[in-house]
Amino acid sequence: MRNNKLTLLVLFVLGLYANIASAQQDAQYTQYMYNTLSVNPAYAGARDVFSFVGLYRNQWFGNNIKGTPKTFTASVHSPIAKNVSLGLNAVRDEIFITQETYLDLDFSYTLHVSDEARLNLGIKGGAHLLDVDTQRAYEGAYNPGDPDAEVFIDNKFSPQFGVGAYYFTNNFYLGLSAPNILETEHFDESSVDPNSTSSATAKEKINFYLTSGYVFDLNEDIKFKPAVLTKLVEGAPLQVDLSANFLVNEKFTLGAAYRWSAALSAMVGFQISEELMLGLAYDRETTELTQYNNGSFEVFLRYEIFKNSKNMVSPRFF
């Protein structure tokens, strides 16, 4: 068993290092349906309220591998004028030797397609800070005396610019977005050789997102919503997340999700009050990695105020 864990550790390090050296991929969320602003700036203002969401994800917990992924997200958005909304999103993503911070300002403009449908067009701009340090590596996972294995990037700044569209009615939504369309290359700052021809240590790649969902009113007390998130990025497998949630009496949410060839998930949500909602999710790997960890979990909190009953209000699902 100890040898198996050591082998997994080495593969884990090599896999993460290969990801850092080629294409950077955005953080993933099981409860993406409550965290839409992090992937689509056009979602700003779509709920017609001042909305705050905080989310924490701990991936592959309960093992002896250091540096498993952890993500912290906080966002706030609200209409500020007729057809105009603003949002602010912050993400902290920690994976092994890499720490990334995103700070973004979102702007959306609403087009009234019909009496029941709206189309939000959004843009976002902000900053990305990349921090990579091989000194964080688990002892024995690499050779600290080998200069080729040493990487140090100290909170390297790069600009972010993204676009998105979000069409929605009372029962349906469809979103298409690219949270960052700028491809930035980062280099090892510890290198002092001016003649070095080494390639970039990390390179940002465009992540494309397609999201959709529909709310079925099964009866007066129960709503059912299937939803899908598809993420495409060069150099990484296509990610497809399928989910199905039931909303009971506008208070209790219960559902399940499947990440294609990756994980099964269970979700539960509580509408504690008119303003406050709490949500939990648990993932279990469907790959061989499941034998080395106890799964992944997420917890999120949403707080909303200043509800305007004169505007079209989307179901609580989105």
Sign of CA dihedral 216, 270, 53, 26: negative
> Which residue in the block uniquely carries the two structure tokens 């067009």?
121
Where is mean pLDDT largest: 6-10, 106-110, 169-173, 203-207?
Answer: 106-110
Looking at 60-64, 163-167, 277-281, 282-286, which range is the least confident one? 60-64
Query: In 279-289, which positions are buried (b, 16+ CB within 10 angstroms) versus exposed (e)?
Result: bebbbebeeee
Looking at 7-11, 32-36, 213-217, 294-298, which range is the least confident one? 7-11
pTM (2 d.p.) = 0.83
> Which residue in the block uniquely carries the two structure tokens 């899908």?
228
Q: Which helix (H) or strand (E) holds 193?
A: none
- Render pLDDT for 230-275 as a digit per residue (tens, 0 to 9): 999 887 888 999 999 999 999 999 999 999 988 999 999 999 998 9
On the question of pLDDT at 178 being above 50, the answer is yes
Q: What pLDDT is attached to residue 28?
A: 82
| Residue length of the chain | 318
Q: What is the dihedral of CA 282, 284, 285, 290, to 10 degrees?
A: 120
| Mean pLDDT score, 215-220 | 94
DSSP state letters, 232-253: EETTS--EEEEEEEEEETTTEE
Confidence band for 147, pLDDT divided at 50, 70 and 90 = low
How far is residue 202's CA from residue 204's CA, in Å, rounded to a whole number? 7
Q: Are 243 and 228 in contact (CB under 8 A)?
A: yes
On the question of pLDDT at 134 being above 90, the answer is no
| Residues contacting 169, CB < 8 A, separation 6+ | 116, 117, 118
β-pairing verdict for 70-81 and 216-217: unpaired
pLDDT cut 90: percent of the chain above it: 55
The domains located in the chain, with CATH, are 32-189+196-307 (2.40.160.60)
Q: What pLDDT is attached to residue 192?
A: 45
For 25, phi and psi rounded to 5 degrees?
-120, 140
Beta-strand (E) ranges in 134-285? Answer: 152-168, 172-178, 185-186, 202-203, 207-214, 216-217, 222-233, 239-248, 252-259, 263-271, 276-285
3-class DSSP state of 215: coil
β-pairing verdict for 172-178 and 207-214: antiparallel
- Render pLDDT for 80-127 as a digit per residue (tens, 0 to 9): 999 999 999 999 999 888 889 999 999 999 999 999 999 999 999 999
Distances, alpha carbon 59 to alpha carbons 46, 62, 226, in Å = 29, 9, 24
